[in-house]
Amino acid sequence: MFNTVLELLKKRNYKAIREIFMDMNEADVAALLQQFYDDHEVEKYELPLLFRLLNKDVAADVFAYMDSDTQMMLINAFTDKELQEIVDDLYLDDTVDIIEEMPANVVARIVKSADAETRKQINQILKYPKDSAGSIMTTEYVYLHRSYTAKEALDWIRHVGMVKETVNTLYVTENRKLVGVLSLLDIVTADDNDKIEDIMEDNVITVDTLEDKEYVASMFSKYDFLSLPVVDRENRMVGIVTFDDAMDVIEEETTEDFSKMAAVAPSDDSYFKTSVFTHAKNRIAWLLILMLSATLTGAIVNKYQSAFAAVPVLVSFLSMLSGTGGNCGSQTSTLVIRGMALGEIRMKDFFKVMWKEFRVALLCSVILAIVNAIRIILVYHGDTSVDCYKLAFTVSMAIMATVVLSKLIACMLPMAAKKLHLDPAIMAAPLITTIVDTCSTLIFFTLATIVFDIK
């Protein structure tokens, strides 16, 4: 598709491109234009040219699907009139999303293009804190009066529906307070004279404007909502969050968790849009902290120089031991962090998780210890410089202790972080590996000095 359009563009066959665009979904057109921008396959003036080939009634939709760099490039190319047409057609929450990514001068142009009412609403939404329900909501919903009949409601929806983001769910308000909710189907299937208040559901689940957007998104998975009303402290309805924004939040938060769990400071941009310098900046802090913490393990090793002077082969098990401890720890911490994110593991389950992990650790550690002992006895059987049974015993005991310890630490730390209102995701593999390393080295050398009777 990309190459076809590129060919047509070179031949200046705009009519054919226009027809191709007409047959495509808006999200696909956006992805295609995006590709032109990212791959620098076109001259600077050609992207606006391509965009102008779009039908007026889909242009705003396509625009909303693009990433902020491409949007900015287009805005700078738009005339004031073009920008105004786009802003008029955009859903309010999309406009706010775009504004949040733009530099001040572009924001000023966008806000200037909006009509007075939209401008007021944009400013209202921008006032909510960054991660709140208010910041991701839209004020474009359809509200009904409880005394409407079904027929009156349908007429009202016909009148205002086309410019609202969603009409599948309708809200009933009284003095701006939310009193009920119903679906478009409820109205369509009702008798003409049925009163809205008789067919609406009056137990409405709402969220506060200041509620954390991650929590709001999780309510969508729980209740399978299409949209969720947002109310202020006086229970006055101020907007709705739609499911597509909730899906975006879930995706964003998951990416953030992945980053944090790999000791990377989360980035707002995608992998390629983040510069090399920012990538390095996002990673270096944790690398430094973890590198310096690891010197503690080094200090322990130094303390036991006499041990590996006496039995040099001991040193060769350090890496296996710390690797196994790290892996066991990351298994547990990942499962616990994900379990908490999904709401499967709650704070009151602390001891239940500990007890479960303790038994899992015991099972795993026994198997690992046995396999390890067999391997050591097989390899060092004929070696006169070391007693293979003592060696097998020492290493296997150290493995057992390390596995149990690492799994217990790895379930305690994320839950403790949550208790302290920190993000559990930072207590993931890298940090736990470093802590477990220190412990396992200490255990191993202590055991070795006892078993091999090293002074």
Interface with a second copy (CB under 8 A), residue from 69, 88, 248, 387: 248
Residue owning tokens 């690797």? 323
224 binds a second copy (CB under 8 A): yes
Distance CA(34)–CA(62), nearest Å, equals 10
Interface with a second copy (CB under 8 A), residue from 3, 175, 193, 319: 319
138 binds a second copy (CB under 8 A): no
CB of 12 to a second copy, least distance (A): 25
Q: At what angle do helices 56-65 and 80-89 cross, to 10 degrees?
A: 80
Other beta carbons within 10 Å of 299: 11
CB of 161 to a second copy, least distance (A): 6
- Answer yes or no: are the C-beta atoms of 124 and 105 closer than 8 Å: no
CB of 230 to a second copy, least distance (A): 17
316 binds a second copy (CB under 8 A): yes
354 binds a second copy (CB under 8 A): no
Distances (CA, A) of 350 to 250, 345, 346, 413: 25, 8, 8, 11
**CA count, 13 A, side-chain hemisphere, 407:** 22
What is the 8-class DSSP label of residue 164?
Answer: S
Binding-site string for a second copy from residue 372 to residue 391, where x marks contact by CB under 8 A and - marks none = x--x----------------
Interface with a second copy (CB under 8 A), residue from 433, 439, 442, 443: 433
Question: Which ranges constitute the DSSP H helices of 11-149?
Answer: 14-22, 26-38, 46-52, 56-65, 68-77, 80-89, 92-101, 104-113, 116-126, 133-136
222 binds a second copy (CB under 8 A): yes
**CA count, 13 A, side-chain hemisphere, 404:** 16
Task: Name residue 242's beta-bridge partners.
Answer: 227
396 binds a second copy (CB under 8 A): no
Binding-site string for a second copy from residue 169 to residue 208, where x marks contact by CB under 8 A and - marks none = ---------------xx--xx-------------x-x---
33 binds a second copy (CB under 8 A): no
Interface with a second copy (CB under 8 A), residue from 301, 310, 408, 451: 301
Interface with a second copy (CB under 8 A), residue from 1, 108, 367, 416: 367
CB of 309 to a second copy, least distance (A): 7
The interface with a second copy within residues 3-32 (CB under 8 A) comprises: 23-25, 27
Task: Name residue 132's beta-bridge partners.
Answer: 212
Nearer to a second copy, 113 or 396 (CB): 396
333 binds a second copy (CB under 8 A): yes
